[in-house]
Amino acid sequence: MRLPPVRFLPSSAAPAVVDANARIARLARTGNMEGARAAFEAMPLRTTASYNALLAGYFRNNLPDAALRVFHRMPSRDLASYNALISGLSLRRHTLPDAAAALATIPYPPSVVSFTSLLRGYVRHGLLADAIQLFRQMPERNHISYTVLLGGFLDAGRVDEARALFDEMPDKDVVAWTAMLSGYCQAGRIAEARVLFDEMPKKNVVSWTAMVSGYAQNGQVNLARKLFEVMPERNEVSWTAMLFGYIQVGRVEDAEELFNAMPEHPLPACNAMIVGFGQRGMVDAAKSVFERMHEKDDGTWSAIIKAYEQNEFLMEALSTFRKMLHDGIRPNYPSVISILTVCAALAVLDYGREVHAAMLRCSFDKDVFAMSALITMYIKCGNLDKAKKVFNMFELKDVVMWNSMITGYAQHGLGEEALRIFDDMRLVGMVPDRITYVGALTACSYTGKVKEGRDIFNSMDTNSAIRPGAEHYSCMVDLLGRAGCLEEALDLIKTMPVEPDAVIWGALMGACRMHKNAEIAEVAARKLLELEPGNAGPYVLLSHIYTSTGRWEDASEMRKFISSRHLNKSPGCSWIEYDKRVHLFTSGEVSAHPEHAIIRKMLEKLDGLLMESGYSADGSFVLHDVDEEQKTHSLRYHSERQAVAYGLLKVPEGMPIRVMKNLRVCGDCHSAIKLIAKITSRKIVLRDANRFHHFKNGFCSCRDYW
């Protein structure tokens, strides 16, 4: 870069040069360094101030190499040139030594600005010890020097040292008072903050807002509101701080009232209302705020996506995320986590791959929590190979990532692999947590490894600081129950040191269904009625047990009991993703699908092929005492069977058919789908409420142990 020399100016040229220098500084502040450079080049006469304006602009816009070239080729320099250099070199941690060297080599007596520029750099990069040492060595200090170091103490949470420095300050302006006030609030020392606030000789709207925000952030919203009401003036930040306070403590109605009273609706306030409405389940209200906003940022999009996700408007969350990408909005961390959760819940693999691609473009592939969520998404979408690749590629694995893999392999019925990962985790020195043990015990439960499960459970007391909780006892009850050790499972429940919850009794109930033990099932059902009086699930299971053992009268009485108590039973449904759309099927209602005619034909065709293969419908999975033909017809239209039929029609050969179900798979459907996979030479992956079933060549990955 060639720089023209400095020329002495005639007095008549001075105003033009001053105007040009101001223009360079103004363009630099707006980030237009090309324009600033052009304005500089167009000057027929330049002063050192002209160079200083360009030098500071390059540093401010993160162009340090260009700035240094300007500095080294300046025809002459003044103290402002060196101050600009020190300030610019202090912006980056690795050039702080250069900034210190520049301070030491200034050919003029350094000013307080020179020292404060380096001081600010030390504080900015968390080098508080260096900042304190420099501050004590400074020949002169002003209120800015004190305020910079004060901020350093407060950012580090060293509130008492900050207060000592504050008391030492010879001249305290409103900025210093407000900084100290905010520091107390952030540390939760709200009473001391209020004392300081009352002592302030002069307050401005920032001071008042800091105190209101302090009360709000510490859950004292009533005091915050009282102070808010007597503020001499308010700005957007004041209103938004009060709004955040209400939302933080869950008082969404008060937040809405305040929001409606606001003279303006700034972006942060709108985003906060979307979050608040979403947390309260008021999705329409959240959507209304979102749609009325003229300006949206990435926080707006992540807020509405989160509102949809947490209230199970899953398809809306997916479509909103795709629109966000289409509009050129770069996804942020919360939106990525939310949408991965949605993809996992729906098991929509194609959408999940899109999100993965977006994560790579936005460099989220280095974040361990985001990658753990990505692994979970692939696992719940049934693509264990891809989950394993992501896991193996990530070097700095944390316990969450290990847990995702252990639990994932367990859910896919690969107990040996899950336990191998559990062993590998401990070998690399990673300490298992409560969830790790749940995953390992689940792996044992799903694969019938009773001895290994007992050993892991017992090792929690001897080799771990973690004491077994209800979730671990639930796994053991499930393990023993599945293995047919129902009496032992019941004894464990009676002697366990924690109060058995509905999950534990439910695990025993499921085992009773598997082994057709009506006596213990009745005990479990009574306990579940006490814990969850509105849940019909246990009684439906008990009715199944009565039906499977031919106790039709008891089954009928149980259905009457369910009806009389107005108990709720979740309807069985299954879904499959095809062509970026989710196709939903409900048991017995194939006509609801627009392509119901070809689905019926495929179901009838499959019936014929199954019969030729020796399949016989298991009528014990039909609750009502009807003839065998009606039972067969009822089983044919179970939701998972409809979804499989649709998959056979639409999913290309060679690709697995992936079906999801909200409840556990029906036993008869499990047998039928094994045969369908063999007859059609297709791989079928079914995810039910508990686990994955990989059907291939007439076998299931669960080995019929489910």
Res 439 pLDDT > 70: yes
**Which residue, chain included where needed, has tokens 């401990």?**
426
632 confidence band (pLDDT: 50, 70, 90)? very low
pLDDT digits (tens, 9 = 90+) for 337-388: 999 999 999 889 888 998 999 899 888 888 888 999 999 999 999 899 999 9
Is-contact 149 183, C-beta < 8 A? no
At 622 the pLDDT is 47
628 confidence band (pLDDT: 50, 70, 90)? very low
Is-contact 569 563, C-beta < 8 A? no
Identify which of 346, 257, 246, 355 has the alpha carbon closest to the alpha carbon of residue 658: 346
pLDDT digits (tens, 9 = 90+) for 75-123: 889 998 898 899 989 988 999 999 999 999 998 888 999 999 999 999 9
Pairing of strands 692-696, 684-687: antiparallel
625 confidence band (pLDDT: 50, 70, 90)? very low
Res 646 pLDDT > 70: yes
First and final C-alpha spacing in the chain: 74
The whole-number average pLDDT for the span 571-577 is 87
Cα angle for residues 190, 193, 194 (degrees, 5° grid): 90
Res 464 pLDDT > 70: no
| Distance between CA atoms of residues 357 and 557, nearest Å | 55
pLDDT digits (tens, 9 = 90+) for 475-534: 999 999 989 999 999 999 999 998 999 889 988 988 887 888 888 988 888 888 788 877
The whole-number average pLDDT for the span 296-305 is 95
Sorted by sequence, the CB contacts under 8 Å of residue 612 that are 6+ apart come out as: none
Distances (CA, A) of 233 to 30, 201, 206, 252, 410: 30, 17, 10, 24, 60
Is-contact 539 567, C-beta < 8 A? yes
The whole-number average pLDDT for the span 412-424 is 92
Count of CB atoms within 10 A of residue 23's CB? Answer: 17
What is the chain's percent helix, strand, coil content, to nearest 5? 70, 5, 30
Res 233 pLDDT > 90: yes
- Could you tell me which residue, 228 or 614, shows the higher pLDDT? 228
Distances (CA, A) of 160 to 134, 165, 183, 505: 20, 9, 10, 53
The whole-number average pLDDT for the span 637-652 is 93
572 confidence band (pLDDT: 50, 70, 90)? confident
At 514 the pLDDT is 80
At 8 the pLDDT is 44
Res 193 pLDDT > 80: yes
Cα angle for residues 60, 64, 69 (degrees, 5° grid): 120
